[in-house]
Amino acid sequence: GGVQTNVIPEELSAEFDMRIPPTMDHEKLEAKIRGWCEEAGEGVTVEFYRKAPRIASTKLDDSNPFWVAFKRQTDQMGLTMCHETLPAASDMQYLRQ
C-alpha cells in the first residue's frame, strides 16, 4: 500500500448518492449491489448510510380526493398541467406518507 498515485492502496472507499425512481424495487437494487460486491471478491463490502423508505407516487386518478378537487379547479380555470416526478428528494416525500 501507499499514498502515491502509482501504488495500489491497502483500502479503497467510494461514496455514491443514488436517486432512484419511485417505481424501482429498492430491495432488488440492493440485492444487485450486494451481489456485485460478492462477485468482486473477499473483503469487498457495501454500507448504506441512508435508505429512504419506498413511498408510492401520488395517484392522479379518481381514487385520490385531493387530486379530484385540485383537477376540477384547474380545469375550471382553464389551466393545463404537466405531471412530473422530481429527480431528487424533496419534502414532498413527507406529504406522500
- What pLDDT, in 10s, does the model give residues 14-48? 999 888 887 888 899 999 999 999 999 999 999 99
What confidence score (pLDDT) does residue 28 get?
94
Q: Is the pLDDT higher at 36 or at 51?
A: 36
Q: How sure is the predictor about 56, in pLDDT bands with cuts at 50, 70 and 90?
A: confident
Q: Domain limits of the chain?
A: 1-53, 55-97
Candidates 37, 40, 22, 44; CA nearest to 90 is 22
DSSP 23-70: TS-HHHHHHHHHHHHHHH-TT-----S--PPP-PPPP-STT-HHHHHH
Cell of 40: 468482486
The whole model's pTM is what? 0.61
